[in-house]
C-alpha cells in the first residue's frame, strides 16, 4: 500500500474498485427488492383504478386529476416548509445582529458618557432619587444587579471578539474585515 493512499483514493472515481461476487449478488438482490416494491405499488394502483371504474366510472377522470393536484399540493407544501425554515433562520440571524448592534451602541454610550460617574452624587438629592426609582423601582440594588450582569456581558463580548478575530486580517495596526471595511 502506498503512503499516499489517501490522496490516491481521493482522486479515484467511486466504483473504480472491482466488485466481489458477494457484492454483485447483494446489489442484484437490492435491485430486485426495489423492482418488486415498485411492481406491487403499480399493481395496487391499477387495482384501485379498476375498482373505481367498476364502482364509479364517472369519477375516474376526477381521480386522475386529483392525483395530479395532490402531487402538486405536496410539492407546494414541501417548498413552503423549506421557505419557512429559511425564514426562521433569517429571523434568528436578524435578532442576533440587532442585539449585537444595540449592545455595541449602548456600550459606546456608556463609555463616552462621563456624567454616569456622577450618579452617586445625583442620588443624594431626594427628588432625583425618586425620579431614579421611576426607571429602577428596586432603586440602587436593582441597578447593582444589572451592573453585575454587565460583567457577564463583558465576558461574552470577549469570547465573541476572540472568535471573530479569525475573520479579519490585521493590516498596519487596523483590522480589515473580508468586505474591506476597516475598524480600529
Q: What pLDDT is recorded for position 141?
A: 94
DSSP state at residue 180: S
Q: What is the pLDDT of residues 62-114, one digit of tens each?
A: 767 777 666 666 677 677 778 888 888 888 889 989 998 998 888 888 888 88
Q: How confident is the model at residue 6 (pLDDT cuts 50, 70, 90)?
A: very low
Task: Identify the pLDDT of residue 122.
Answer: 92
CA distance 83 to 86: 5
Asked if 146 and 139 touch (Cβ cutoff 8 Å), the reply is no
- Chain segment 125-140, per-residue pLDDT in tens: 999 999 999 999 999 9
What confidence tens digit (pLDDT) does each residue in 40-55 have?
988 988 887 787 777 7
Measured between alpha carbons, how far is residue 74 from residues 78, 83, 160 in Å?
6, 14, 42
* pTM confidence score: 0.44
pLDDT for res 129 = 93
Task: Take residue 161 and report the three cell numbers written for it.
Answer: 471578539
> What's the mean per-residue pLDDT of the chain?
78
Question: 141: part of which helix (H) or strand (E)?
Answer: helix 140-164
pLDDT over 60 at 4, yes or no: no
pLDDT at position 85 is: 82
For residue 29, pLDDT over 60 is answered with: yes
What does the pLDDT read at residue 112? 83
What's the confidence (pLDDT) of residue 180? 53
Q: Is the pLDDT of residue 15 over 60?
A: no
Who's near 53: CB < 8 A, 6+ residues apart?
A: 60
Query: Picking from 7-11, 82-86, 107-111, 171-175, which range would have the lowest pLDDT averaged per residue?
Result: 7-11
Identify whether the C-beta of residue 157 lies closer than 8 Å to the C-beta of residue 106: no
Q: Rounded to whole angstroms, how far apart are CA atoms 157 and 144?
A: 20
Dihedral pair phi/psi, residue 123, rounded to 5°: -70, -10
Q: Percent of the chain beyond pLDDT 70?
A: 73
Amino acid at each position: 500500500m502506498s503512503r499516499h493512499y489517501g490522496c490516491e483514493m481521493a482522486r479515484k472515481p467511486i466504483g473504480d474498485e472491482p466488485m466481489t461476487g458477494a457484492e454483485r449478488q447483494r446489489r442484484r438482490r437490492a435491485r430486485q427488492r426495489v423492482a418488486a416494491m415498485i411492481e406491487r405499488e403499480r399493481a395496487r394502483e391499477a387495482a384501485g383504478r379498476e375498482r373505481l371504474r367498476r364502482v364509479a366510472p364517472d369519477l375516474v377522470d376526477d381521480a386522475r386529476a386529483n392525483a395530479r393536484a395532490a402531487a402538486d399540493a405536496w410539492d407546494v407544501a414541501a417548498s413552503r416548509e423549506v421557505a419557512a425554515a429559511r425564514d426562521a433562520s433569517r429571523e434568528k440571524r436578524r435578532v442576533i445582529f440587532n442585539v449585537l448592534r444595540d449592545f455595541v451602541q449602548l456600550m459606546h454610550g456608556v463609555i463616552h458618557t462621563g456624567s454616569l460617574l456622577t450618579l452617586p452624587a445625583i442620588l443624594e438629592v431626594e427628588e432625583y432619587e425618586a425620579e431614579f426609582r421611576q426607571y429602577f423601582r428596586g432603586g440602587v440594588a436593582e441597578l447593582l444587579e444589572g451592573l453585575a450582569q454587565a460583567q457577564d456581558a463583558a465576558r461574552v463580548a470577549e469570547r465573541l471578539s476572540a472568535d471573530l478575530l479569525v475573520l479579519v486580517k490585521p493590516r498596519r495596526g487596523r483590522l480589515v474585515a473580508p468586505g474591506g471595511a476597516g475598524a480600529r
